[in-house]
């Protein structure tokens, strides 16, 4: 009984993760500049990868006949946590580097980083 529920919840997380990947891909094509596209890519990396990995973890726990199911569930869960930590850091570093190098043309209304550097 609980195994079936875990498999269904895992399947739903797979589908939701696929929808986030699709939305992120559309955002990468349609958004106007580097910074907003970077946001879409990060959303796709976080939700499009973390949700299916957590779904895989739940599905592995729900399948009693799967050999090594605890290993699969643990590896999937740890990978999801690592992506959840690393993806925002990576996008922040990319945005900071693009801003500092002034390669990406951008005219903000307020730029706190530039104000801090002026002091």
> 67-99 as b/e, with b when 16 or more CB fall inside 10 Å?
eebeebbeebbebbeebbeebeeebeeebeeeb
Note the pLDDT of residue 17.
95
Sorted by where each begins, the domain ranges of the chain are 2-118
Whole-model pTM: value is 0.81
pLDDT computed for residue 19 by the predictor: 95
pLDDT at 26: 94
- Please write the tens of the pLDDT for every residue from 21-51: 999 999 999 998 888 899 999 999 899 999 9
- Give the residue ranges of the chain where pLDDT is below 70: none
């Amino acid at each position: 009984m609980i195994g079936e529920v875990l498999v269904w919840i895992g399947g739903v997380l797979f589908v939701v993760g696929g929808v986030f990947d699709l939305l992120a891909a559309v955002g990468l094509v349609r958004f106007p500049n580097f910074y907003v596209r970077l946001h879409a890519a990060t959303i796709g990396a976080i939700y499009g990868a973390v949700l299916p990995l957590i779904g895989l973890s739940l599905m592995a726990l729900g399948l009693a006949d799967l050999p090594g199911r605890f290993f699969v569930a643990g590896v999937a869960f740890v990978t999801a946590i690592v992506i959840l930590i690393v993806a925002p850091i990576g996008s922040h570093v990319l945005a900071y580097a693009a801003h500092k190098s002034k390669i990406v043309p951008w005219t903000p209304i307020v730029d706190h980083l530039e104000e801090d550097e002026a002091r």
